[in-house]
Structure formats: C-alpha cells, structure tokens
C-alpha cells in the first residue's frame, strides 16, 4: 500500500501519512488487526461508498468523498461493530476518532485526491510541484 500526504484543495494538510487502499484485498483488510491510528495517520479507501468496523478495536472518524474530492458526509467516532454509508460516495477517508474535527474537515470542503506525492520520497514530496 502506498502512503501519501493528503491535502485540501487549497493545500492544507489533513493527513500526513495516509495509506491508500485501491485493490480489493487492501480495501477488505482496511484497518483490521491494528490497535489504533496515530495522529496524522489515515486510510483512504477507493472506490468505497460504505465501510464497516466489524472486528475493529477502536473508533474512527469516517469521511465520505465524492469523485472530485468534495466531502459529502463525516461520521465522527464510529465505534466498532457499526456500519456507515453515503449514497454516491466514491471514496472514504478513515482517521483517528476526533481527527476530522481537529483538522477542520466538514461537508463541502474539497480534498485533493490526485495522490502522486509519496512522503517517503524525501522533503520535496511535502510541497506541491512547481509549475512553469
């Protein structure tokens, strides 16, 4: 699974270490087996219009995204053994419980889902590429 820095459309960082699950196996595994997420960590599932927290050990914030990255719905502190969905959502961002509020993530803002930057590739990955 690749890891990226996830930002709002205006460049504000919302997840410093966001794992991206784009294969069926990676999406199915999700956060299972983990004891929690640290601040700055998250998981982006795509495509995904719904999630479940069966067999999980901790609560998460669930952010449903449209194809263009617009936040459609935020489900704060979804506890284990629950489900959540958003009609027409194309991706889901899972964050530590309380992180969406701390990062100012709410319906209507837009996240940049062009995920080419890999934070492990060095300092330049933390900055958008120069245009010209």
Do the beta carbons of residue 72 and residue 66 sit within 8 Å? yes
Do the beta carbons of residue 17 and residue 41 sit within 8 Å? yes
Q: Which of 83, 74, 95, 107 is nearest to 14 (CA)?
A: 95
CA quadruple 79, 21, 95, 104: dihedral sign: negative
β-bridge pairing 91-96 and 111-112:
unpaired
CA quadruple 68, 71, 73, 76: dihedral sign: positive
Distance CA(72)–CA(90), nearest Å, equals 10
Residue 116: predicted pLDDT: 58
pLDDT tens-place string over residues 33-47 = 889 999 899 999 999
Residue 125: predicted pLDDT: 39
Residue 122: predicted pLDDT: 40
Residue 99: predicted pLDDT: 96
Residue 81: predicted pLDDT: 96
Q: Which of 61, 64, 83 is nearest to 73 (CA)?
A: 64
Q: Is 126 helix (H, G, I), strand (E, B) or coil?
A: helix
Q: Average pLDDT of 71-76?
A: 98
Look at the chain and count its residues: 132
Q: Average pLDDT of 104-131?
A: 63
Residue 15: predicted pLDDT: 96
Q: Which fold has domain 2-113?
A: Jelly Rolls (2.60.120)
Q: What's phi and psi for 30, nearest 5 deg?
A: 50, -125
Q: Average pLDDT of 83-91?
A: 97
Q: What's phi and psi for 6, nearest 5 deg?
A: -100, 130
For residue 1, name the pLDDT band (cuts at 50, 70, 90). Answer: confident
Q: Average pLDDT of 106-126?
A: 66
The pLDDT > 70 percentage for the chain reads 87
pLDDT tens-place string over residues 10-67 = 999 999 999 999 999 999 888 988 899 998 999 999 999 999 999 999 999 999 999 9
């Amino acid at each position: 699974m690749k890891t990226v820095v996830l930002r709002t459309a205006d460049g504000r960082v919302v997840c410093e270490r966001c794992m991206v699950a784009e294969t069926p196996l990676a999406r199915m595994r999700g956060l299972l087996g983990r004891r929690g997420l640290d601040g700055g960590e998250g998981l982006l599932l795509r495509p995904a219009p719904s999630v479940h927290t069966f067999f999980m050990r901790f609560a998460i914030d669930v952010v449903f995204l449209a194809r263009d990255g617009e936040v459609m719905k935020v489900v704060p502190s979804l506890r284990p053994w629950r489900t959540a969905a958003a009609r027409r959502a194309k991706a889901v961002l899972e964050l530590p419980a309380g992180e969406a509020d701390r990062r100012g993530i709410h319906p209507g803002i837009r996240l940049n889902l062009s995920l080419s930057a890999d934070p492990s590739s060095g300092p330049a990955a933390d900055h958008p590429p120069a245009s010209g």
